[in-house]
A and B are shown apart, each in its own frame.
Chain A
Amino acid sequence: MIKKTTLALSLALMSLAVSAEVTLTNTVFEVVTITNKDGSKQDQWQQPDKLLPGERVGYQIEVNNKGTEPAADIVIANPIPEHTVYVQDSAKGLNTSIEFSVDNGKTYAQPAQLFVEKEGKRVQATSVDFTQVRWKLNQPLAAGASSTVQYIVKIK
């Protein structure tokens, strides 16, 4: 069940946009696997209905430049929510470079360069170790333009 506060937060952001002129919108979806008529499977993002342990939840984060001048050096950072784990290869964003953190955002790197300590050994991090996901936009966002990134987590 989605809290009513979502709407309130969106409204709050709208009011903030007046001064900042760059807005951020965070939307949650339920990600389900559907089977097509030909037997193939695909993910479908839909309005949340059953948010249960084991289910996948998708976040869409939209940055919108409502100002009159371009916004540069845009970085969107998102801690993986508590009680969830990141779903491998689910972070996407056009014209962005995507990095992850395994130390609560102190450092970020590509998955291949991330390591964690497990039982005293330094091992390659896996998606369940990720604590943050970060998108760096490769180019400034022009006035009036928007960009959307997304990723999926699984509820523990």
Chain B
Amino acid sequence: MKKNSIHSILATSLVMSSTLLSSNAFAVGTDAGTAISNTATVSFTRGGTPDTEQASISFNVDEIVNVNVTAANASNNITNGDQNVAIRYTVTNTGNGSEVFKLLDTLGATNTLPLAANDITVYYDTSTSPDGFDPNNINEQIYTDTGITILNDAFITVYLVTDVPNGSVQDSKSDLVLEAVSQTEAAGVKASESAFGATITGAGTGGTNAIIATNLGRDNASSELKVTTFDPSKSLVVNINKTILGSAASISNAGTDIVTDQKIPGAVITYFVKVSVENDGATALSISDIIPSDMTYVSNSMRLQNASGSTINIPTYIAPTFPAATPVTYSNFSALTDAADANDGASTSVDGAARVESITVVLGDLPIGEYAILLDATINN
């Protein structure tokens, strides 16, 4: 008997116990660090005299590092423009010792809403009876890349919270992935870098060995946000509004020049063109304006105000100074040049008679906000 056993011990091979392979079966188990002691007693008689001997041996239960992450729903129905949409996950320590975990949120391969990584805020709740996401609940804290201790067989609730872009179209969707990573390590060997089944000597509870029962000491779960209801009123709206800011003409009467706001031949008209981008960013936006046939564009009179994320109030008209009547400088507006260079996106288009028939300002991709140009044109004599 003994001989056979020793042969078995010597016939070493690296094997994983079959119980460890079905690692989730460990959800309930003897706590790591628990001492299991065994005392055997032998009784016997020798020369008619009874006697006993005892032999004891003890070991401590090692620690299983294991974690399970689940999403409450595989898919979540949303409407474009929804605010503070919370996706709920549960992170359970399925090992047999207290563990510290860090949380990682990432976007999956499917991301057509689309979302950016920093659009997502991670909240967690350590209470045992979470009642859904509520940013005003004191139990729900914003996760700040600090490890969270979860006792064995205990769980935390995690919410990935985001705003759905207004411009998300019908059936667009994004996968949000939550991952929990064990922070166990000893002597530079980290659970987060260790393969399934690896042992980290001395890293477990009470100095026991830590056995990695989930590859790389982590688990993740993915949950989908999908636009199942499309609200067109929340999608991109671009408005353009053109007004005459003011006009000025110089007239002479008996040797005296006066300036009038009458729109008479020779008067300089200042136009105010405002574009508002609402609900969502706009791409490849440009503003064009045709100069009326009986008017002459004032060279280099395009001026631009960029108020991304903000609004523009109509400026107070300032009359140009005659006789030059050069374009007036308005605060918050910067002058553009007429040359068709990439410098400021402004250009003019001339007809066969070298008359400027239209102006264009290429603004490109614009976030939500307001954008305005001023230009001057003179009523032909």
Contacts and interface: CB of A to CB of B under 8 A. Distances in A.
Interface of A: 1-3, 5-6, 9, 13, 16, 20-30, 32-35, 43-57, 59-63, 67, 69-79, 81-84, 92-94, 141, 146, 148-150, 155-156
B118 interface: no
A26 B38 contact: yes
B44 A28 contact: no
Nearest to B4: A45
Q: Nearest 4 pairs between A and B by C-beta? A: A53-B29, A148-B2, A26-B55, A24-B55
Contacts of A73: 43-45, 50
B55 A32 contact: no
Interface string B53-97: 111111111111000000000000000000000000000000010
Given A24-B55, A50-B20, A75 B30 contact: no
Interface in B40-55: 40-47, 50-51, 53-55
Interface residues of B, number: 55
A26 B45 contact: no
Nearest to A44: B8
A74 B43 contact: yes
Interface of B: 1-2, 5, 8-9, 11-13, 15-20, 25-26, 28-30, 34-47, 50-51, 53-64, 96, 199, 202, 204, 207-209, 211
A107 to B, nearest CB: 16
A108 B194 CA distance: 47
Nearest to B211: A50
27 contacts: A3-B35, A6-B57, A6-B59, A9-B57, A27-B57, A32-B16, A34-B13, A45-B8, A46-B8, A47-B9, A50-B211, A52-B29, A53-B64, A54-B19, A56-B19, A57-B59, A61-B40, A62-B2, A63-B44, A71-B45, A71-B46, A73-B44, A75-B43, A75-B44, A77-B42, A78-B39, A92-B1
